[in-house]
């Protein structure tokens, strides 16, 4: 019987070593050597401190910051609970949530870019459309006491264009845009 089980144990140990140790170590080495930023989660670092990720949104609620998409991930932008809401267009819960989000902006839902009212498929999207950013420009200019044109220029400077002009949508990373706002010199068009 030992002669029958011995090859099975050796094969089990070999496959465990290859798939559980060698393969993960090789992929980690390749990722850290050639793709370090993405392999580390695409962190955004300011003043030597990680302030967020290029890939995971954050909740901003202050009037002087751009607000991102609502999140359906856990209690909000929880990467451990990534998921969409799975609510259909006729769901009352979706209509209630859209109405609540619209109330934050103080205008009718039909006048607000849809990405400011609805969650993304993952619930973690860090981007909004340029239209959604421009929609918020006046509020931010008023809260920061700067000209709205200054805010609009920052939005335009932070738009990520589609790859090769065709892959994806134009978008703005909310955290990057807010960090750019925070970096404005005090004399930058203060009114």
Per-residue pLDDT of the chain (191 residues), as tens digits, is 888 899 999 999 999 999 999 999 999 999 999 988 888 888 888 888 888 888 888 889 899 999 999 888 777 788 777 877 778 889 898 889 889 889 989 889 899 999 999 888 888 889 999 999 999 999 999 999 999 999 999 999 999 999 888 899 999 999 999 999 998 775 454 44
119-153 burial, b at 16+ Cβ within 10 Å, e below that, comes to bbebbbbbbbbbebbbbbbebbbeebebebebbee
Domain locations along the chain? 2-36, 44-182
Give CA–CA dist 89/161, Å, rounded: 29
Q: Angle 174-182/148-157 helices, nearest 10 degrees?
A: 130
C-beta of residue 102 within 8 angstroms of C-beta of residue 95:
no
Determine the pLDDT at residue 37: 83
Determine the pLDDT at residue 24: 96
Determine the pLDDT at residue 189: 46
| Tokens representing residue 101 in the block | 């989000």
Determine the pLDDT at residue 186: 55
């Amino acid at each position: 019987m030992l002669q029958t089980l011995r090859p099975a144990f050796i094969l089990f140990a070999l496959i465990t070593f290859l798939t559980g140790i060698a393969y993960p170590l090789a992929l980690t080495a390749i990722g850290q050597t050639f793709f370090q930023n993405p392999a580390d989660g695409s962190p955004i670092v300011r003043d030597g401190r990680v302030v967020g990720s290029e890939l995971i949104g954050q909740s901003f609620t202050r009037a002087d910051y751009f607000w991102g998409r609502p999140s359906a991930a856990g209690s909000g932008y929880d990467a451990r609970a990534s998921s969409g809401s799975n609510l259909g267009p006729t769901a009352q819960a979706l209509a209630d949530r859209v109405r609540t989000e619209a109330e934050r902006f103080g205008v009718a839902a039909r006048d607000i870019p849809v990405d400011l009212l609805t969650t993304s498929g993952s619930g973690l999207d860090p981007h909004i459309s340029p239209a959604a950013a421009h929609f918020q420009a006046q509020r931010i200019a008023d809260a920061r006491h700067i000209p709205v044109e200054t805010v609009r220029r920052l939005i335009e400077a932070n738009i990520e264009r589609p790859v090769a002009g065709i892959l994806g949508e134009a978008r703005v990373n909310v955290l990057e845009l807010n960090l750019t706002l925070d970096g404005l010199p005090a004399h930058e068009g203060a009114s």
